[in-house]
Amino acid sequence: MKKHVAIAMAGLLAVAGLSSCGSDDGGSLVIWHDKTDAVVEVLRKAIEEKLPGEKVEFVKRDSMTDQLKLVGNDPSSCPDMYIFAHDKIGLFATIGILEQLDGLVDPSSYEESVPLALDAMEYQGVNYGVPLYYETTLFLYNRDLVGDKDPSLPSLPKTSEELYSYMKEYTDGRRYGFVEQHSTPYYASAWINGWGGKILHDDGTPGLNDQAVVDSIEYHRKFVDYMPRTSADYATVNTLFLEESADMVIGGPWMIPSALEAGIDIGVAPMPTLPNGKPLSPYSGVQGIQALKIKCRDPERRARIKAVMECFVDPEVQGELALVSGCAPALLDAYEVDGVRDNAIVKAIEEQAATAIPMPSRPEMDIMWSELGYLLTDVNMNGAGVRETADKYQEEALRLIAQMQ
Amino acid sequence: MKKKEGFRRFEREARPWLFASLSLLTILLVVVFPIGHTVYLSFTNMGIYNYYDYSLIGFGNYLDAFSLGSASFLRSLGITILWTALNMALQLVIAYVLAVLLNSPHLRLRKLYKALLMIPWAMPGYVSILLWKNGMFNGQFGYLSKIFSLLGVDVDFLSNDIMAFLSCTVVNLWLALPFMIMIIDGALQSVNRELFESAELDGCNAIKKHLFVAIPSIVPIVSPAVLITLFTTFKQFDIVNLMTISPVGTGAHIETVIVYAYQQAFITGNYGYSGAVATLIFLLVVLSTVFFDPSFRKKGAKHGSR
């Protein structure tokens, strides 16, 4: 019995060993991604049309960051390229597994893109990827409850103070004027950025206790009083909106399909402006394609990688990508494609792009997300004082960043 | 002739090793090597900024682990010990009581109760945890929150440390009790009824019968299961992580050591430090195995001649 087990084990080991070598046969190019089948289909079709005969294998990875950290330097198991949100570019560039884009892909092909998308692909002055499409959070509202659809409805707040009065007036036990994931850093950052605060400065120093950050969190706190205080996760916000218990929400474009399905007459409005006259300025995530350094050494393979990356720099392809993913395309020309120009989601995101800023991609950002999260939950959910809590987590962030070096 | 005999002897002694060698090799590769590598990393400064070119830095990471910060290793260790002790105590008491009730002589629908008690075990833990989080504790829609707010009390189940700790304990009990009940139930059935009768004749009351007859008889049977549960509870990750941290924080800071080590490695990218924490956890588990596992302690008695 034991013998059989041993033989089976040995067999398994052998198979595992062989299969891990499989990808280095010089045959297919491998692209890792974390996207839906519809997105991959568009990409595959683009390659089939423009590069007939080129073999590209799309592999879906759930924990892309960990996987790339693990094998990013190992030619036998790393992919040639990957498609992922831009905010890990700094991390991968720091550990040194990314190929620079300059010298690989001709800049003139993609430089006519939305500036935000181009900025996102850059880390410390070096360009690392071709932007494909991007998303921002949006100010969504239920047109049956608020807005100009019916004169009897209250009008849509344009400033945060108007929003606050609206919340005060209409929020009761069953209905909320406005709901957002108030203690989730990604969402709360819109308020901080709009206020002029920076949770991570460009040189990598944290700014949690900067005056602007502290002020914005202090200001934001009064809104939390009229939102579900302790449950502010995606499920809660989404459900409240779908059940018509929330008139307005800040959420991602990914909330729109389910809202339409639930029969909600959904509207997208510009973000309200803060007392300083600037609108809330959400972070944006840009999806792009990056190449792995170790795979670009061989000139022949490098040329194939270049060709594949370039074939996604196409208005038609990016337009279609935006439509199937509910985002907005990076290339400016893609906005002229039929079906893209008049798409409401694309339009809303495009308008938002003027005030949105790409998420910082420095590796320190991972620490900032978690420390800002603690700061927000302590303040919003447990009533801690903003200044001393901000000081506490600033110190913790400094300590962790020092430990990182 | 002598040579042949020597070869036979060699063959006889080498044979088992030869058969076991592939399994041993597998164990070496999947168990021993990762542990060894982690220990090695714990002495280096491997992190995001020294990802491929890290160097040995001695005991620096271990010193860091024992220095006091706001979210330090020692705090999470304290939480873990409290977590393990509280959960084990509650589990054993509740499981014992329920198992005794299941064994009461005139109980009807015994099988139905047993089946119902096993349901939490049949469900994937991940699903159970999220159901508890969103279905029971959610401040807006949670069943428990609704009940409490009808009673006029607002309870924050997950946003302050003590309530979150207790909520997590409830979920852990829900997940872990079926196993313990099954083990104790099985053990109780194996206790010789005559012991109870003679205890009764000797004038034992009900409580004494449990304390001096039932419990001592089941200890040897349930102790391996208790040991397993002790370690599962100690290294419980999903509950604390899903209930209070992932995907968004709920405001409680009740990281256990495993959650802490995970955060150090995968959020702050501090592999050297995380390795040191993991090594300390490993040593702790090894030490407690030696301490709690009777087979380690009785070894001396069994092989008294050595």
Q: Structural domains in chain B?
A: 72-234 (1.10.3720.10)
**Residue numbers in B near A8 (CB within 8 A):** none
Residues 75-104 of A with CB under 8 A from B: 91, 94-96
pLDDT at A3 over 60: no
Residues A85 and A195 in one domain: no
| CATH number of the domain residue A146 falls in | 3.40.190.10
Residues A204 and A242 in one domain: yes
How close, in Å, is residue B258 to chain A by CA atoms? 17
What pLDDT is stored for residue B301 in this prediction?
47
Name the residue facing B140 among A181, A240, A370 (closest C-beta).
Answer: A240
Residues A58 and A103 in one domain: yes
Residues A150 and A223 in one domain: yes
pLDDT at A400 over 80: yes
Among chain B residues, CA nearest to A69: B51
Residues A15 and A124 in one domain: yes
pTM of the model as a whole: 0.85
- Spatial distance between the Cα atoms of A306 and A257, rounded to a whole number of angstroms: 35
Residues A259 and A377 in one domain: yes
Q: Which tens digit of pLDDT belongs to each residue from A365-385?
A: 999 999 999 999 999 998 999
The residues with which A250 forms a beta bridge, in sequence order, are: A139
On whether the CB atoms of residues A329 and A61 are closer than 8 A, the answer is no
- B247 lies within 8 A of chain A by CB: yes
**Residue numbers in A near B273 (CB within 8 A):** 403
The better pLDDT of the pair B105, A130 is held by: A130
On whether the CB atoms of residues A346 and A323 are closer than 8 A, the answer is yes
Residues A93 and A32 in one domain: yes
What pLDDT is stored for residue B302 in this prediction?
46
What pLDDT is stored for residue B222 in this prediction?
92
Asked if A2 and B23 come within 8 Å (Cβ–Cβ), the reply is yes
What pLDDT is stored for residue B140 in this prediction?
85
On whether the CB atoms of residues A191 and A372 are closer than 8 A, the answer is no
Helices (H), chain B: 2-27, 33-41, 60-65, 73-102, 110-122, 125-131, 143-150, 161-189, 193-201, 206-209, 215-234, 238-240, 257-266, 271-292, 294-297, 299-302
**Residue numbers in B near A399 (CB within 8 A):** 69
Residues A246 and A366 in one domain: yes
Residues 6+ apart with CB under 8 A from A223: A160, A163, A164, A167, A178, A182
- Torsion angle of the four alpha carbons A35, A41, A42, A45, in this order, in degrees rounded to the nearest 10: 140
Residue A347, domain extent:
2-134+285-358
- Spatial distance between the Cα atoms of A56 and B27, rounded to a whole number of angstroms: 37
Residues A394 and A345 in one domain: no
Q: Which tens digit of pLDDT belongs to each residue from B108-153?
A: 898 899 999 888 988 899 999 999 999 999 988 899 999 998 998 8
The count of domains in chain A is 2
The better pLDDT of the pair B187, A8 is held by: B187
Q: Which tens digit of pLDDT belongs to each residue from A156-213?
A: 999 999 999 999 999 998 899 999 999 999 999 999 999 999 999 999 999 999 999 9
Helix/strand/coil (H/E/C) assignment for every residue in A90-132: HHHHHHCCECCCCCCCCHHHHCCECHHHHHHCEECCEECEEEE
Residues A399 and A262 in one domain: yes
Residues A193 and A312 in one domain: no
End-to-end CA distance of chain B: 35
Q: Which residues does chain B have with pLDDT short of 50?
A: 300-306
Q: What is the mean pLDDT of chain A?
A: 91
**Residue numbers in B near A367 (CB within 8 A):** 267-268
Among chain B residues, CA nearest to A366: B267
What pLDDT is stored for residue A1 in this prediction?
45
How close, in Å, is residue B8 to chain A by CA atoms? 21
Residues A98 and A111 in one domain: yes
- A374 lies within 8 A of chain B by CB: yes
Residue A340's CB: how many other CB atoms inside 10 A? 21
